[in-house]
Chains A and B, each alone.
Chain A
Amino acid sequence: MTAASEASVAAETPSGGRHALLRSDRAKGLALISPTFVYTLIFLLAPIVVVVVHSFWTQTYLTIDRTFTLENYKTALTEPIYRDLLVRSLYISLTVSVATALFAYPIAYYISFYGAQRKSLWLFLITIPFWTGYLLRVMAWKVILGYNGVLNEALMGLGITSQPVSELLYSTNAVIITLIHAWAVFAVLPIFVSLEKVDRTLIEAATDLGDGAVRRFLRITLPLSMPGVIGAILIVMIPTVGDYVTPKLVGGTEGVMIANAIEAQFGRAQNWPLGAALSVTTMIVVSLMAGACVLLLRGLVRLVR
């Protein structure tokens, strides 16, 4: 906020020290980021502050009691239902993000190393599923995984099962499969970009020093594309924890996630402070899990080389 005012003052008085300030790299940098900074402040930070503040208050029927309390956090952390939902959400988002990255890596690798002149065409083709809405794509999975769905028909047709498998839809796995499909492209892009940045002569140098295809992948390509993998995992992990549409549509009772509980608190249950406390708890736990993932992956990479 000071950045914007500072820059404008400096622009109005183009003399002496003020002028020098405007010319300094620091001032230029601040001036450049100030619009985004203000935007971030209003639309990102403010809502978070509102949520955090609410989490320390108490709902008393229709009004809110504004005395400081930690009761909501106590409920959020000790109540088994919320704990279970949180653990399940973390499990789902971790599985989805890791699986998506594993699934996206070969695709990104193929496009980057073998795409030749058709790289943009390949990337374009990959985004085609996104031309339909998210809900439609989730519905499509309902058709595939349903009791009379495509997958069950196929399994029976091949004689693998004699009658439809009912566990396919309305389960944790259904949520995981749908989310992986939904997020795959977001994982392909950062991995692709980081693979593109891997200098190909480094790979030749590794070959020259005696490494075969597997070793040079593990020692050069993978570590150097790790920022992309980490980016992909975070991009998928953070929003999927808070997803509530997918569990609602394909999760059934088994696939309910923490966001569904949060939604209920802000909606039907009319307990905003508890919903806020659940949100903040989720936010913190996800950040911790993301941080742990980053450290773990970095450590793994160090290990292979």
Chain B
Amino acid sequence: MPETPRSSGETMIDIANVTRRFGPITALDTVSAKIREGEFFSLLGPSGCGKTTLLRLLAGFDQPTEGTIAIGGQAMADIPANRRPTNMVFQSYAIFPHMNVAENVAYGLKRLRLGGGEEKRRVEEALGQVQLGHLGKRRANELSGGQRQRVALARALVMRPKVLLLDEPLSALDKKLREQMQVELRHLQKAVGITFILVTHDQYEALAMSDRIAVMFDGRIAQIAAPKDIYQRPVSRQVADFLGGMNFIAADIVGEDGSEVCLETVGFGRVTTERPPGFVVKGRSATLGIRPERLRVLWDDDTSEHEIAGTVVDRHYFGEITHLIVEIPGLQQPLSVIETNDFGADDIPVGSPIRLAYDPEALVAMGD
């Protein structure tokens, strides 16, 4: 896996073969992951895949049925939630309604009995970090959604945890505020250097913010990789499908060795690509994938070394881009193509023939 620049590389959290069952439901199934110190790590997956369950195991609100968790080299089995070096930003923010903003932020410090104005200084520092310096006296029920989110963040940061756990902290915010907070969270994480674990079901949020992403389905981790790798080299159809659109093309495996696989397809011909980690050969068939934006429309006399021809069967206009559905002779599924509108892709008539260029590097092999 590629080095991420910001993390020091030391393992901060070691999740080893963790399983959590609720009666007949297996919420987590032998999950293993190593999260590095200072890393921005995201847990991404559809609803009900076990993200919150994993986060609660890390925070200590719940115990694994099997497996172990270590944080900072220390086994967590016997350490209760209130003595773990983690703090959490809850999805509902869990702001204490009977206290004002400053009292909320100071909540965890009170017990430490810091002397000499230290508590006040740290509260002010934390409020400053989330740009709420002026709101200390405000009551909790007088805050907007974004402000509540910041209070929850400040309340956790002020404890200077080794790990900050964030359970879908942005999902309750509107789109604009969410995007602004994504940038702010990322900056904040760089500034404080704490390991962040972010739970989200928003692929763009995960891609934009993380050093690494773990994609989860049905209680299992399907892939852990940096955003670019996970987007460009998904290990399975499921992962590819969850992160943006992907054209899937049925393929036969005609050859393989340790690092490469050779696939035979209709339309794209014979393709040799990197063998993805965790690629399992079941029989002779596999799937070849290409992202819609990696297919380019060839105009007039343009030619390309790698091109395929078909017919436009549908067209969807999205403002700056147009989504074309192109039928390729021999392919079961039409290809979807995303083209910017600079050259008039929005004017291509439905039913007209079209040629598409692609970069063979953009083709990925996936297990079924």
Contacts and interface: CB of A to CB of B under 8 A. Distances in A.
B94 A207 contact: no
A204 B112 CA distance: 19
**Residue among A202, A208, A212, A305 with the most chain B CB within 10 A?**
A208
Contact of B82 (A199, A202, A208, A224): A208
B176 interface: no
B87 interface: yes
Given A209-B107, A210-B108, A204 B90 contact: yes
B99 interface: yes
Interface in A198-224: 199, 201-202, 204-212, 215, 219-220, 223-224
Interface string B73-108: 000000011110011101010101111000100011
B99 A305 contact: yes
B338 interface: no
B111 interface: yes
Nearest to A205: B94
Contacts of A212: 82
B96 A220 contact: yes
Given A202-B94, A204-B90, A224-B98, A209 B159 contact: yes
B51 interface: no
Nearest to B112: A210
A48 to B, nearest CB: 35
Contacts of B81: 204, 207-208
A205 B90 contact: yes
A260 to B, nearest CB: 42
Contacts of B312: none
A201 B156 CA distance: 14
B83 A208 contact: no
B54 interface: no
Given A201-B92, A204-B61, A215-B111, A209 B97 contact: no
A219 B104 CA distance: 11
Contacts of B80: 207
Contacts of A201: 90, 92, 94
Contacts of B103: 305
B20 interface: no
Contact of B98 (A211, A215, A223): A223
Contacts of A206: 96, 107
A210 B88 contact: no
A207 B107 contact: no
Contacts of B108: 209-211
Contacts of B94: 199, 201-202, 204-205
Given A201-B90, A201-B92, A204-B61, A209 B98 contact: no
Nearest to B94: A205
Contacts of A215: 111
A122 B275 CA distance: 62
Interface in A229-253: none
Nearest to A203: B94
A221 to B, nearest CB: 11
A161 to B, nearest CB: 47
Contacts of B61: 204, 207-208
B240 interface: no
Contacts of B86: 208
Nearest to A302: B98
B155 interface: yes
Contacts of B92: 199, 201
B96 A205 contact: yes
Give the top 10 A-B pairs by smallest Cβ distance, nearest first.
Answer: A209-B108, A205-B94, A201-B94, A207-B81, A208-B88, A207-B82, A210-B82, A210-B108, A202-B94, A223-B98
Interface of B: 59, 61, 80-83, 86-88, 90, 92, 94, 96-99, 103, 107-108, 110-112, 155-156, 159
